[in-house]
Structure 1
Amino acid sequence: MVTWTKHEDIWDEAAAASYDTPGTGMFAPEVLEPAVERLAALAEGGAALEFAIGTGRIAIPLRQRGVPVAGIEIASAMLAKLRTKADEAAIPVVLGDMTTATVPGRFSLVFLVFNGISNVETQTEQIECFHNAARHLGPGGRFVIELWVPELPQRTVAAKANVVRAEDGYVLVDTVDVLAQHVVSHHFRFGPEGEAATLFRSAHRYVWPAELDLMAKLAGFDLETRHADWRGSPFDAASTGHVSVYRLAGG
């Protein structure tokens, strides 16, 4: 099982306080609105459950669209931040591990966005995410995953660290363990000159799309659609990410 202590250490009060960036980054309207619109359509009038609901980036605007939303969240600090924006009556949340925690009721849609499944660091536990989604869905229900596409490792390169992004005030460096399919992302943010840089680290297990499809099969799902983004762009060999919609048998 993913350990509570580890995730509480990563997603602590400082991380929760700085997570929301209203109007910019992953909270920018051009990023957020297509995701909410697509999820609302996939719910087809039923209730939705978000794994790793966080501070409510998706859940709150989805609820405002009229979709009943519940959640599972492992980090108490992230849930506390959500509670400053929506109470338990509006968006009920179970504090727990999304591989095992259960939420009362039956849902037509379960979703796990913004690379959330990669935060689960073993293949076995990632498979359990699919099984737990299936437990919450009725026949024909959907499980939606948003995830990045891993790059092929360079066998001739000895370095174990890659600079993924470098821009003013920010550098992202990934350290990679190819055998374990593990990545640790190191986010360095730089303030004014003379001010110490801040570092935020998060661990991931990367997953190939074909591996994800097999995990889905093991839990009774079939791939319904896969696109390169929330707007429905075609997924191809050049795509750096995907939105995959899995449907539970029996619908």
Structure 2
Amino acid sequence: MSDEENAEHSTDQIYLRDAYQQTVEATVVAVRDDAVALDHTVFYATGGGQPHDTGTLADQGGNTWQVHNVRKEGDLIWHWVDGQPSPEGTAVSGTVDWERRLQLMRTHTALHILCGVIWNEWGVLVTGGNMEPLAARMDFEFSPLPEGFAARVTELVNAEIAADRPIEVSFLERAVALADPELIRTKVNLIPEWVTDIRVVDIVGLDRQADGGTHVASTGAVGRFEITKTESKGKGNKRVRMVLHDA
């Protein structure tokens, strides 16, 4: 499908509004050799340090494909599958690997709690980060780390988890969102210029920032937070590595 034809289609990213929806009924709107784009999806596309979802697509003829990669290109979400994909116009059912998704949701929320705690305690910005299910790293503009940092942060983060704070999602016009400097917690604004409505994730009473990832409904669902290592990545850049436990 050409770029001009692609422009006629877009994918409704259901996870931006409801991270707990696990299945979707959709139609194939574009096809490549090993990937399909859908008109609706519950599969998160890699971005913002959060990796893509995995899962399955199935058509009404009994064919099933494993989804092993998901990427956003323009207005379309592409789903890479094993085997020859269904042709354009095919109705398919999609199901996310829920265990993986939930672990990523817990991890992403833990990183926002970590950001909130560090911002409120020291007013320090994020310089980078990445995550996998139940483990992550995040870099902060510290030079050096404060004395007793790991123990203090661990105590504060787990206290916020125990507080079971609700997490709310809303959307703001770009100009309104960017007028609030506290919504951007990264040293560099990573929101693409073409994004007109900015999604805001609010851990009520702790942390409110622009974000496109998936999150649990309240901090109590995160689990127990542990810092496994702190590292220096140069002047003004310190790395925090963390894991989550179920209890």
Please report the TM-score for the alignment, with normalisation by the length of structure 2: 0.26
Q: Which has the higher helix share?
A: 1
**Which has more radius of gyration?**
2
Please report the TM-score for the alignment, with normalisation by the length of structure 1: 0.26
Q: Which has the higher strand share?
A: 2
* Bigger relative CO (Cα 8 Å, ≥ 6 apart): 2
